Each structure stands twice: as C-alpha cells, then as structure tokens.
Amino acid sequence: MVCLLTSTLYIAIREGEFDRFQKCQTLDNHQLLWHGSRTTNFADILDQDLRIAPSEATGYMFEYYYINGDVLIPIGYGVPSNARHTSLLYNEYIVYNTDLINTEISLRVDFQ
C-alpha cells in the first residue's frame, strides 16, 4: 500500500487569474483535479501556473492541459476519436481552454 504524506503546501494567487476564472463560473461541472509534476517544476508552476506546451514541441499533437482527478499515473496522452458515447478512464481530463483552470493550492507529497 502506498501512503501519501504532505510535505509542503503552497497557496498561489496570481494577478488576473481569479477574474479570468470568474468568467467561467456559469458552468456547473467543477472538479478538484490533480496534476503531477516533478519537484523541479514547482517554482515555474507557482509563478506562471500550468502552461500549455507549444504545438511545435516534440511529442505533442495539440495544445492542451492534461490533468487527473486522482493520484494515479496516467497511461498516456489523449488521441482524437470518432467514437460516440465514450468516457475517460482514471478520471483523466483534457482542458483546451486555460480560462477554465484555477490553480489555488499546490501540494508537495511524498510517497511512502
């Protein structure tokens, strides 16, 4: 069994982020999601929030955020499909509109 221990708690309030997010408050499907990242990325995430990789970056087909609703390691990035009535496994979400994301709290956790 894996145990998660909270090592550090960060609260980041970036200028303009709250106002940008408020424009999307009419949507009723809010979710608390996790985004796993290496410790070396924390300073950039706290300063500039999650950033979309440019489309010319190696290994990316589209510009989007890839975030997770659980503490599971994702099995891969999303790919386009023509299938109807499908769902995502492991609570994985792809967010194309950055205004829909409001990073309020960042945690550093240690796996024990």
Give pLDDT tens digits for 8-34.
Answer: 887 777 787 778 878 777 777 777 676
Q: Give the pLDDT confidence score for residue 6 in this predicted structure.
A: 79
Could you write out the DSSP letters of every residue in 10-57? EE---TTHHHHHHTTTT-------B----GGGHHHHHHH---PPPTTS
Q: Model pTM?
A: 0.45
Backbone region of residue 76 per phi and psi (left: phi > 0; alpha: psi in -120 to 50; beta: other values): left
Q: Give the pLDDT confidence score for residue 78 in this predicted structure.
A: 60
Residues of the chain with pLDDT under 50: 61-62, 72-74
Q: Give the pLDDT confidence score for residue 63 in this predicted structure.
A: 52
HSE-CB at 16 with a 13 A cutoff on CA atoms is 5
Q: What is the CA radius of gyration of the chain?
A: 15
What letter represents residue 53's amino acid? A
Q: Give the pLDDT confidence score for residue 109 in this predicted structure.
A: 76
